[in-house]
Amino acid sequence: MSKTPALPASLKQFLVKGNELFLPGISIDCVIFGFHENTLKLLLLDSAKSNKWTLPGGFVLKSEDINDAAYRVLLERTGLNDIYLKQFDVFGQPNRTDASVHKTTFEQYGSKIPKDHCMIQRFVSVGYFALIDYTNFSIQNDPINSVYDWKGIEQVKHLPIEHDHGAIIQKALESLRTQLAYLPIGKNLLPKKFTMPELQKLYETILNKPLDRRNFQRKMLGFGILNKLNEARKGGAHKSPFLYTFNDKKYQKALKEGLYGSW
């Protein structure tokens, strides 16, 4: 007969002090996008307790600003820090979560969650999406005995997704596409040095449609947020394209003031 595993310290604290520490009725869910080999990817948690995929999330401390909570939750659940994170929507369907999933989590450790605990009461979730350079971050496994994996955005459509996280993912993707019309994208998803074709492929992948090469280059250069380098990408079959970097000062200004024009 197998021995019941010990309740992880983070879960034990949440079980005992959850109602005392956290704001009732509100949570955070993070949609983390990466870009690799011309594919937009999504970081998902493989929950061994429910055999479904889920987003990293958590609750808001009673004394905590909600944006600070989003950064803290992401750091605690994935180890990610100092990244671009943007609030995009709120999700509040009455039956958006399945309380039995959380109950089962504690039962497998031989513990029972109280009926009035914030985890199994109704709560709305504030969605944030994060953009990271896929090659520049290492993701730590979730402290609650679960493992993360990157999935292509097309793969996600065919995976069993927990709660209403499928709807949250779709809304995050829609928000990311909308943002392309008025805010710069790329600095957080591409390596420091990149080619114009690589930047265009990122936009095409997010928008899920082809873009005219000349129009794309003219528009991107017109924004004034790129620095053209005196070096080219080596090793291609065709003429080596020049490398670019983002002008950080102008990029940050564009994030605050916006860009003009749609795709």
User: Which pLDDT tens digit goes with each residue over 76-106?
Assistant: 888 888 888 899 999 999 888 877 777 877 7
The band of 259, judged by pLDDT with boundaries at 50, 70 and 90, is confident
Max mean pLDDT range (106-110, 131-135, 154-158): 154-158
Pair (91, 156) in one structural domain: yes
Pair (113, 13) in one structural domain: yes
Interatomic CA distance for residues 87 and 172, integer angstroms:
9
Which residue reads 């944030």 in tokens?
128
Q: In the structure encoding, which two tokens stand for residue 7, read together?
A: 């309740």
Tens digits of per-residue pLDDT, 151-164?
999 999 899 998 89
245 has a pLDDT exceeding 60: yes
The more confidently predicted of residues 256 and 17 is 256
Q: Is residue 263 part of a domain?
A: no
Q: How many domains does the chain have?
A: 2
Expressed as residue numbers, the domain containing 226 is 194-257
Does pTM top 0.95 for this prediction? no
CA 199 vs CA 50, 130, 136, 187, 234: distances in Å: 38, 18, 17, 10, 17
49 has a pLDDT exceeding 90: no
Interatomic CA distance for residues 109 and 8, integer angstroms:
9
| CATH number (domain holding residue 15) | 3.90.79.10
Pair (153, 78) in one structural domain: yes
Q: What is the CA radius of gyration of the chain?
A: 21
Pair (222, 129) in one structural domain: no
Handedness of CA 195, 199, 202, 203 (dihedral sign): negative
Q: Would you call 9 exposed, middle or buried from its count of C-beta atoms within 10 A (0-12, 13-18, 19+)?
A: exposed
Interatomic CA distance for residues 70 and 59, integer angstroms:
9
Across the strands, what pairs with 126? 28, 90
Pair (90, 155) in one structural domain: yes
Interatomic CA distance for residues 110 and 170, integer angstroms:
36
Interatomic CA distance for residues 112 and 106, integer angstroms:
6
Pair (171, 206) in one structural domain: no
Interatomic CA distance for residues 39 and 74, integer angstroms:
23
| CATH number (domain holding residue 238) | 1.10.10.10
Q: Would you call 167 exposed, middle or buried from its count of C-beta atoms within 10 A (0-12, 13-18, 19+)?
A: middle
